[in-house]
Amino acid sequence: MNPTKNNSLTKFIKQTIPFNEMEVNEIVDYFHLLKLKKGDYFLKENQISDDYFFLEKGLMRTYLHDLEGKQITTDFFSENNIVFEVTSFFMRVPSETNIQAISDCIGYRISYEELNMLFHNKPAFRDFGRAILVKEFIASKKRVYAMINQTAEKRYQNLLSSKPEIIKSSPLKYIASYLGITDSTLSRIRKNII
């Protein structure tokens, strides 16, 4: 067993749902090392998502194209988070989005089949999966609400305080599209805050 995987992934699983040591070690053994270089795709549009990925190190983003063909960043994934495209993964349909590494990334993946086998054989692991889905659903709802009832400056400040690693490591054009603003508006907001 990879000791790094055992430390980082085990800690993440235990923080989400309490497991005994033997159960968590059995679960961790199903995950396989995956490295991505900056710019590599974890998932491309029109592919069916088959990987559930624990991101140990690095930064990734989800994006899609608007009606004019521009890339719109819809989410960021930072270290110690689960990365996957929920609709494609669970419904087994082609993805409408792309998931791309913004920096070199390392983590551990488990396939759709392996994950479902764990869900079936380990009821406590179903609770883990449910906890991850609830967390992501809440974050998604908060983002939708913020796009409606918060100013661009407030959305930027929230991102700065909740996920500073994104501000430090992501190109400004990705951050601007994620916030629903232009690059020049983001530059102006950043100057005002400084």
Q: What is the pLDDT of residue 1?
A: 46
Identify any residues that bridge with 62 across adjacent strands, giving them in sequence order.
75, 99
Q: What is the pLDDT of residue 126?
A: 86
Q: How far apart are CA 137 and CA 36, in angstroms?
A: 26
Cα separations in angstroms, 137 against 16, 90, 191: 15, 14, 33
Q: What is the pLDDT of residue 88?
A: 95
**88: which 2 tokens?**
């494609």
Q: How far apart are CA 39 and CA 25, in angstroms?
A: 32
**63: which 2 tokens?**
């994006």
Element spanning 161, H or E: helix 152-162
Q: What is the pLDDT of residue 5?
A: 54
Mind listing the pLDDT tens digit for each residue in 129-182? Answer: 888 989 888 988 998 898 899 999 999 999 998 889 998 899 999 999 999 999
Q: pTM to 2 decimals?
A: 0.88
Q: How far apart are CA 173 and CA 184, in angstroms?
A: 10
Q: Report domain extents, the chain.
A: 3-120
Q: How far apart are CA 156 and CA 80, in angstroms?
A: 22
**Whether 81 contacts 108, CB under 8 Å:** no
Identify any residues that bridge with 98 across adjacent strands, giving them in sequence order.
63
Beta strands (DSSP E) in 15-87 are 32-36, 41-43, 51-57, 60-65, 71-77, 81-83
At the topology level, CATH places domain 3-120 in Jelly Rolls (2.60.120)
Sign (positive or negative) of CA dihedral 75, 186, 191, 104? positive
Q: What is the pLDDT of residue 22?
A: 86
Q: What is the pLDDT of residue 4?
A: 52
- pLDDT < 50: residue spans in the chain: 1, 3
